[in-house]
């Protein structure tokens, strides 16, 4: 099976920092792969908040995870601070990708690269729906 390979985005307009706690460490003594996804989910929540939204209320719509993939680059350890950078990318009428880069904040060492495929869902019908134009403007995307 071919390995998942990502290239860093040209720029990441959003960044946040999160600490690795003891509960994030696995039996191998480093950041657990599932816990990394949990930290990235927190960063996604902060990304939406930075735009004035929550993942469950974007102009009456929600954004649910449709898929995600990650390429692990190096280990993370208890007490380190991770910098998680995100950018919206690969827009479709009813979804988008959030691409991200995770680095160890002090050294800048790359820990992971990945993407989260998000589907825009109308909360009333619980069906995929077009991304609200106001949200697209917040992201700096003009679809005209």
Best CA proximity match to 96, nearest among 138, 49, 124: 138
Best CA proximity match to 129, nearest among 114, 142, 119: 119
Residue 100, in any domain of the structure? yes
Please name the residues in contact with 59: beta carbons below 8 A apart, sequence gap of 6 or more.
53, 132, 134, 135
pTM of the model: 0.94
What is the structure's pLDDT at 143?
65
Residue 73, in any domain of the structure? yes
Domain that holds residue 82: 14-138
Strand pairing report for 81-92 and 14-19: antiparallel
Split into its structural domains, the chain has a count of 1
How far is it, in rounded angstroms, from Cα 68 to Cα 21? 23
Q: Which two tokens stand for residue 33?
A: 């792969």
Residue 2, in any domain of the structure? no
How far is it, in rounded angstroms, from Cα 56 to Cα 98? 16
**CATH code, 39:** 3.10.129.10
Residue 144, in any domain of the structure? no
Residue 8, in any domain of the structure? no
Residues 76/30, Cβ–Cβ less than 8 Å: yes
Best CA proximity match to 84, nearest among 62, 122, 114: 114
Could you state, in chain order, the average pLDDT of each consecutive group of 10 residues for the chain (144 residues)?
88 97 96 97 98 95 97 97 97 96 98 98 95 93 71
What is the structure's pLDDT at 140?
86
For residue 49, which phi and psi values (nearest 5 degrees)?
Answer: -60, -35
């Amino acid at each position: 099976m071919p390995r998942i390979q990502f290239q860093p985005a040209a720029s990441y307009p959003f960044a946040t920092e999160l600490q690795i706690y003891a509960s994030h460490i696995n039996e191998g003594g480093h950041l657990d792969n599932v816990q990394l996804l949990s930290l990235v989910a927190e960063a996604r929540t902060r990304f939406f908040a930075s735009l004035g939204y929550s993942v469950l209320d974007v102009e009456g719509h929600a954004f649910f995870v449709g898929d995600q993939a990650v390429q692990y680059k190096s280990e993370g350890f208890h007490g380190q601070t991770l910098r998680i950078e995100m950018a919206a990318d690969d827009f479709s009428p009813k979804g988008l990708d959030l691409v991200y880069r995770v680095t160890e904040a002090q050294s800048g060492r790359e820990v992971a690269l990945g993407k989260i495929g998000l589907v825009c869902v109308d909360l009333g019908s619980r069906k995929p729906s077009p991304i609200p134009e106001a949200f697209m403007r917040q992201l700096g995307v003009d679809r005209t």
